Amino acid sequence: METRSGRCRHVARARGVTLFEVLIVVAILALISGSVGAAAVMYFDRARQRTAESNARTIRAAVKAWWIEHDRAECPGVDELVASGGLDRDSPRRDPWGESWRIECGDDEATIISAGRDRKLGTADDIRIPPA
């Protein structure tokens, strides 16, 4: 039969989505989310490292100020720097990985060390301010 427009008249049927099409969409979404997740982890690790370097510079400046006030009598810890007002009470007392800062004082130099992501001193991911 022909309709007014001259086309064959077909019964319109609702066509569903096949299981195969659903599986393809799910696989594509999994690939996209996996790559986004991997990139996010990389940026998060880099942000932690930069935060640690910034905090170490702040602690180093506080140690140098401590030396001026105390005539280089000793090498202070982070808690002493906070108690004396050299660091804000809101300053992080631990590195971004939850470990204590290591402060080494020499004749004219203070070195602030974080063990880094692996939490082991003496490895490649250690953060030292100033660099060795």
Higher pLDDT, 99 or 7: 99
* Torsion from C-alpha of 116, 118, 124, 129, nearest 10 degrees: 10
Count of structural domains within the chain: 1
Can you tell me which residue has the tokens 């100033």?
Answer: 130
CATH code of the domain containing 95? 3.30.700.10
pLDDT band, residue 8 (cuts 50/70/90): low
Neighbouring CB atoms inside 10 A of 64's CB total 14
Residue 14 lies in a domain: no
Mean pLDDT of 84-104: 89
Residue 69 lies in a domain: yes
pLDDT band, residue 5 (cuts 50/70/90): low
Q: 58 lies in which domain range?
A: 19-129
Mean pLDDT of 48-64: 93
76's tokens: 């202070």
Residue 1 lies in a domain: no
pTM over 0.85: no
Residue 4 lies in a domain: no
Least confident of 1-15, 27-41, 68-82: 1-15
13's tokens: 């049927």
Residue 7 lies in a domain: no
